[in-house]
């Protein structure tokens, strides 16, 4: 059962998550969307983003990996709003990773970090209840309720950023979630390499989606040195992952994906 949980966990990251203005649900790979009724509950049926939970579910074919190999220290908050948004997405992905791998003892720290980053973006009050629920459900070991709570956290992020008219933050949160997830997924597919399992990484549509999202960001954000480099690497990653479906993925190709992702992770987080 633990192995099945980790399977679900490992991608996400492909994470993922955010919408462009004025993005619609048709722009997002359908299997990455949350249930329609869930979206309507949070008022995001018109402007929505890929679901980190759904991204993790796409990784069910990956082999089990030790949690310790991909565990990381929770990031500190930053005065840079762009960094805050990127790290918030990565933290939500971390939350799913903790839950899917059943290492619930670490969820309280992740939940507190999510709350601090949300507060830094001006949305802390809305997330207090989520942080409390994450702690409560982690104490009683209810993984399903934890996944629901994390999905609701993402939905509330979207709603709050829309209210604050900060759609750029929504894009960045989503990208941060995808990036953290894909970091884990690439490593998982190489330990050991299995061409069949690596097929889960063949998602040029997701890479295209985020390239388009970056193109909508405010020029002041893209002019930041690390964001300029990040966008360049994202385009290069898209080219690496754009492989003919008739050709099986090779270990060399997956290593190239992993290298680009690791470079982006260093810049983003």
Rg of the chain, C-alpha, whole Å: 17
d(CA 111, CA 153) in angstroms, rounded, equals 10
Q: Is the pLDDT of residue 3 over 80?
A: no
Question: What is the number of alpha carbons within 13 Å of residue 83 lying toward its C-beta?
Answer: 12
Of 58, 60, 38, 62, the closest CA to residue 49 belongs to: 38
Residues 6+ apart with CB under 8 A from 28: 19, 48, 49, 50, 209
Q: Report the pLDDT value the prediction gives residue 35, as an integer from 0 to 100.
A: 61
Q: Report the pLDDT value the prediction gives residue 228, as an integer from 0 to 100.
A: 97
Q: Report the pLDDT value the prediction gives residue 256, as an integer from 0 to 100.
A: 95
Q: Is the pLDDT of residue 155 over 60?
A: yes
Tell me the backbone φ, ψ of residue 165, rounded to 5 degrees.
55, 40
pLDDT band at 159 (very low <50, low <70, confident <90, very high): confident
Q: Is the pLDDT of residue 89 over 70?
A: yes
d(CA 115, CA 92) in angstroms, rounded, equals 10
The token pair that represents 116 in the structure block = 């601090």
Q: Is the pLDDT of residue 10 over 50?
A: no
pLDDT band at 115 (very low <50, low <70, confident <90, very high): confident
Q: What's the pTM?
A: 0.82
- More reliable by pLDDT, 258 or 138: 258
* Tens-place pLDDT, residues 207-264: 998 999 899 999 999 999 999 999 999 999 999 999 888 888 999 999 999 999 999 9
Q: Report the pLDDT value the prediction gives residue 26, as an integer from 0 to 100.
A: 38
* Tens-place pLDDT, residues 15-58: 333 333 334 433 666 666 666 544 455 444 444 567 777 777 77
Q: What is the DSSP letter of 250?
A: -
Residues 6+ apart with CB under 8 A from 141: 104
How many C-beta atoms lie closer than 10 Å to residue 128's C-beta?
A: 12
CB-based contact 8:147 (threshold 8 Å): no
Q: Report the pLDDT value the prediction gives residue 24, as an integer from 0 to 100.
A: 42
* Tens-place pLDDT, residues 170-184: 889 889 988 998 898
């Amino acid at each position: 059962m633990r192995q099945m949980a980790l399977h679900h966990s490992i991608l996400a990251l492909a994470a993922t998550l955010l919408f462009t203005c004025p993005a619609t649900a048709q722009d997002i790979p359908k299997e990455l969307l949350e249930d329609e009724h869930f979206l309507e509950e949070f008022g995001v049926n018109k402007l929505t983003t890929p679901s980190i939970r759904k991204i993790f579910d796409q990784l069910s074919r990956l082999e089990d990996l030790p949690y310790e190999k991909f565990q990381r220290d929770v990031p500190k908050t930053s005065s840079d709003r762009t960094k805050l948004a990127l790290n918030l997405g990565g933290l939500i992905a971390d939350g799913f990773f903790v839950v899917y791998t059943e290492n619930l003892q670490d969820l309280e720290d992740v939940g507190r970090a999510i709350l601090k980053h949300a507060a830094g973006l001006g949305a802390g009050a809305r997330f207090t209840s989520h942080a409390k629920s994450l702690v409560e459900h982690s104490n009683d070991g209810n993984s399903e309720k934890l996944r629901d709570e994390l999905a609701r956290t993402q939905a509330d992020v979207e709603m709050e950023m829309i209210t604050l008219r900060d759609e750029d933050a929504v894009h960045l949160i989503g990208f941060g979630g995808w990036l953290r997830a894909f970091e884990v997924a690439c490593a998982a597919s190489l330990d050991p390499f299995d061409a069949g399992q690596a097929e889960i990484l063949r998602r040029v549509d997701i890479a295209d989606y985020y390239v388009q999202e970056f193109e909508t960001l405010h020029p002041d954000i893209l002019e930041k040195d690390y964001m300029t480099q990040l966008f360049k690497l994202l385009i290069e990653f898209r080219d690496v992952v754009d492989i003919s479906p008739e050709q099986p993925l090779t270990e060399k190709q997956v290593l190239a994906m992993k290298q680009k992702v690791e470079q982006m992770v260093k810049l983003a987080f």
